[in-house]
């Protein structure tokens, strides 16, 4: 089914635009009827090139009216009308019988209509009670409206149409031609007044060709863009994000000007920085009472100690709300954020800057982009590439990047998605691109230490310790709502990996500032699993056994591997057994070394003490592995790891 249409607007840009915008008057356009079903659409039973496709998008069309183009007198709002048609091809395709639309207080869902056309020609309209609204965030008043189509069956055609009204005159999210399903035809028509100057940006991977046509009218300009026969976007293990694979187009407002004045918006990174930095300055200047509070929180000490104290305060004491990337409400203030103890990520970053300045610690704002949202194209100067504002301070002769929007991050720590990515220091005079620091792979560690003993009856019991550092720890710091839920989550995690054992006495210690998590537990083999004369152990647990995720050859896969981050796994199993037992089967040692990673295993036995130590280490040392530059080595690494982890350790009664 078509993906959600998401919008991140900007009240700040709208406020600046209001200084110069003059709109022309006209009548509202009437809603169009659904086009008739064509004989080709009726006859279609499979998609050429994708015979197993469960459904197909027959067409998806959009019309975007910039700042009320031709319809709404003096309006700053923009309107997007979307119309689409989907055909269900298989039983599995029936799961595509729902559409979901994101909206909010600044992005209003104005109307929705839909229908199901059955194979026999009967038309069943979407009833009013088929639509239901789910609140996504109470604080930011964001919603998801989902609509379930009636009587969805193989051969049915689903038509839908809806309109969204944006309070901002800017369209920053691109129109995405592609879908998870194959698309026969997708198009968007942008209509802008003469006073606007726009820049067109496209991304078209997988050999897709985006056609464009432009025409001029008395009201302004129209740009039509379309693409035909787009392949479905298929998810693959550790593949690039959807945004890197989807064909898309974006119109970026460069400037607005008429006889009454002109405004430059996003001609380059200078003007983009000027646009937002002007708003940032206004928000920071509304700072009554902030300086005094900052000095009290920072106390005495070195600049680093003061910065750490202020960072922890903003991180922990200011509740984070959903934001709009690096945009900020121009009417907000750091004073209000401080005394109401809540703010979006940009407001929190601006508050931290003002508090640092109060104790003579200089800082700069940094725009960061999570790689999971797609690769940024620095030739297109839009702030909507970036999702999070960071604060950069220079301490002890080096730059330290702070992200007060995440409760799991300690001082100077970054999210996995931000590490090693391109970032921008916005500046009205000299914007500067930087690469954010990246944690070495061996510091993103999971180390499991298991101590087991076999008793005379043939029952295993013992203890375990799991130590997480680096980004592995970040993922598990405050990952549940409270301590009880955290302990239960860890117990469930261990139970999945030790199905033959009863897990008890689970304890977890989280140290966010050190990026460490330590989990300990006791374990005993379940009574009904005890055989009495034989016991088998999977020695790679709980970090194994690994299965081969890269089953495709390089020619079949076609896209690079992109891990969340490189890392290291270590397992050390210590095992003891009584005199009447002996080891019957041991895992064979293995060693694999490739530029992308390595595997090593070893077993050390002590017959006199009737004990052994099994050690296994798996490294993935690169985050990105190209199809032609290491993919087959990666397949070999995981294939041999799967083979290694399939080996068992067996003891029998003598």
pLDDT tier at 8, thresholds 50, 70, 90? very low
49 and 31 share a domain?
A: yes
| pLDDT for residue 11 | 33
DSSP letter at 526 equals: -
Counting the structural domains of the chain, the total is 3
What's the CATH number where 503 sits? Answer: 2.60.120.1130
Domain assignment present for 501: yes
Domain assignment present for 3: no
Tokens linked to 144 = 């998801």
141 and 273 share a domain?
A: no
CA distance 609 to 152: 68
* Statement: residue 25 has pLDDT above 70: no
122 and 177 share a domain?
A: yes
- Please state the rounded mean pLDDT for residues 562-566: 96
CA distance 246 to 88: 22
- Does this model's pTM top 0.85? My answer is yes
Domain assignment present for 230: yes
83 and 220 share a domain?
A: yes
201 and 101 share a domain?
A: yes
Domain assignment present for 305: yes
Helix (H, G, I), strand (E, B) or coil at 430: coil
133 and 113 share a domain?
A: yes
* Statement: residue 426 has pLDDT above 50: yes
Q: Where is average pLDDT lowest: 30-44, 378-392, 550-564, 607-621?
A: 30-44
Give the domain range for residue 638: 441-653
Domain assignment present for 553: yes
CA distance 146 to 163: 14
246 and 299 share a domain?
A: no
List, as own/partner pairs, every contact residues 642-645 make where C-beta atoms lie below 8 angstroms and the sequence separation is at least 24, other chains included.
Answer: 642/545, 642/546, 642/547, 642/548, 643/590, 644/540, 644/587, 644/590, 644/599, 644/601, 644/616, 645/538, 645/540, 645/544, 645/545, 645/546
222 and 298 share a domain?
A: no
Contact (Cβ atoms closer than 8 angstroms) between residue 352 and residue 312: no
> Is the bond into 374 cis (omega within 30 degrees of 0)?
no
pLDDT tier at 486, thresholds 50, 70, 90? very high
48 and 197 share a domain?
A: yes
Hey, which bits of 66-156 come out as E strands?
Answer: 78-88, 98-104, 107-117, 123-125, 131-137, 142-148
Domain assignment present for 16: yes
* Statement: residue 440 has pLDDT above 50: yes
What's the CATH number where 323 sits? Answer: 3.10.620.30
* Statement: residue 453 has pLDDT above 70: yes
* Statement: residue 384 has pLDDT above 60: yes
110 and 233 share a domain?
A: yes
In order, the DSSP letters of 231-287 are: PP----TT---HHHHS-EEEEEEEEEEETTEEEE-SSSHHHHHHHHHHHHHHHHH--
157 and 16 share a domain?
A: yes
| pLDDT for residue 455 | 96
Which of these, 486, 566, 471, lies nearest to 519 by C-alpha position?
486
What's the CATH number where 192 sits? Answer: 2.60.40.3140
415 and 470 share a domain?
A: no
Which of 253, 285, 305 is at the close of a domain? 253
Which of 191, 221, 253 is at the close of a domain? 253
Domain assignment present for 4: no
Which of 382, 417, 435 is at the close of a domain? 435
Neighbours of 301 (CB within 10 A): 12
Percent of the chain with pLDDT over 90: 77
Domain assignment present for 261: no
């Amino acid at each position: 089914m078509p993906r959600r249409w998401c919008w991140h607007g900007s009240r700040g840009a709208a406020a600046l635009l209001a200084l110069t915008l003059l709109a022309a008057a006209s009548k509202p356009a009437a809603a169009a009827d659904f086009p008739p079903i064509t004989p080709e659409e009726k006859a279609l039973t499979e998609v050429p090139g994708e015979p197993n496709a469960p459904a197909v998008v027959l067409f998806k069309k959009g019309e975007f009216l910039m700042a009320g183009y031709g319809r709404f007198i003096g309006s700053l709002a923009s309107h997007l009308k979307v119309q689409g048609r989907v055909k269900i091809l298989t039983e599995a395709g029936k799961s595509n019988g729902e559409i979901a639309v994101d909206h909010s207080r600044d992005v209003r869902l104005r109307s929705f209509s839909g229908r199901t056309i059955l194979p026999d020609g009967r038309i069943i309209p979407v009833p009013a009670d088929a639509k239901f609204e789910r609140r996504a965030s109470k604080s930011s008043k964001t919603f998801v409206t989902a609509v379930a189509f009636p009587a969805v069956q193989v051969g049915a055609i689903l038509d839908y149409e809806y309109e969204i009204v944006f309070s901002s005159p800017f369209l920053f999210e691109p129109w995405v031609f592609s879908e998870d399903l194959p698309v026969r035809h997708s198009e968007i028509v942008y209509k802008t007044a003469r006073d606007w100057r726009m820049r067109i940006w496209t991304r078209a991977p997988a050999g897709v060709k985006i056609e464009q046509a432009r025409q001029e009218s008395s009201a302004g300009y129209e740009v039509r863009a379309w693409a035909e026969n787009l392949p479905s976007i298929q998810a693959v293990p550790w593949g690039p994000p959807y945004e890197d694979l989807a064909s898309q187009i974006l119109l970026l407002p460069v400037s607005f000007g008429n006889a009454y004045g002109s405004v430059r918006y996003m001609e380059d990174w200078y003007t983009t920085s000027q646009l937002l930095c002007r708003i940032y300055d206004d928000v920071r200047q509304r700072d009554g009472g902030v300086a005094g509070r900052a000095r009290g929180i920072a106390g005495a000490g070195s600049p680093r100690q003061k910065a750490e104290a202020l960072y922890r305060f903003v991180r922990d004491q200011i509740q984070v709300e959903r934001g709009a990337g690096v945009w900020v409400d121009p009417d907000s203030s750091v004073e209000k954020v401080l005394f109401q103890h809540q703010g979006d990520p940009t407001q929190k970053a601006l508050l931290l800057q003002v508090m640092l300045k109060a104790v003579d610690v200089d800082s700069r704002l940094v725009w960061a982009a999570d790689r999971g949202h797609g690769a940024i194209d620095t030739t297109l100067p839009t702030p909507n590439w970036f999702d999070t504002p960071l604060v950069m301070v220079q301490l002890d002769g080096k730059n330290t990047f702070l992200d007060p929007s995440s409760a799991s991050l300690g001082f100077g720590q970054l999210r996995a998605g931000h590490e090693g990515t391109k970032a921008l220091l916005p500046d009205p005079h000299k914007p500067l691109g930087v690469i954010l620091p990246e944690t070495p792979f061996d510091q993103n560690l999971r180390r499991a230490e298991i101590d087991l003993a076999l008793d005379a009856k043939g029952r295993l019991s013992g203890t375990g310790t799991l130590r997480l550092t680096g980004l592995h720890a970040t993922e598990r710091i405050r990952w549940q709502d409270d301590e009880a839920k955290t302990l239960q989550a860890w117990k469930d995690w261990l139970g999945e990996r030790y199905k033959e054992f009863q897990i008890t006495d689970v304890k977890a210690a989280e140290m966010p500032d050190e990026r460490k998590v330590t989990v300990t537990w006791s374990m005993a083999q379940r009574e009904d699993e005890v055989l009495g004369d034989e016991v088998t152990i999977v020695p790679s647990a709980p970090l194994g056994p690994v299965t081969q995720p890269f089953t495709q050859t390089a020619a079949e896969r076609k896209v690079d591997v992109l891990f969340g981050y490189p890392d290291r796994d270590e397992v050390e199993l210590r095992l003891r057994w009584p005199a009447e037992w002996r080891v019957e089967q041991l895992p064979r040692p293995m060693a694999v070394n490739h530029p992308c990673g390595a595997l090593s295993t070893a077993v050390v036995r002590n017959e006199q003490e009737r004990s052994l130590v099994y050690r296994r280490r798996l490294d993935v040392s690169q985050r990105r592995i190209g199809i032609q530059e290491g993919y087959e080595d990666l397949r070999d690494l995981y294939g041999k790891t799967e083979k290694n982890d399939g080996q068992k350790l067996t003891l029998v009664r003598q």
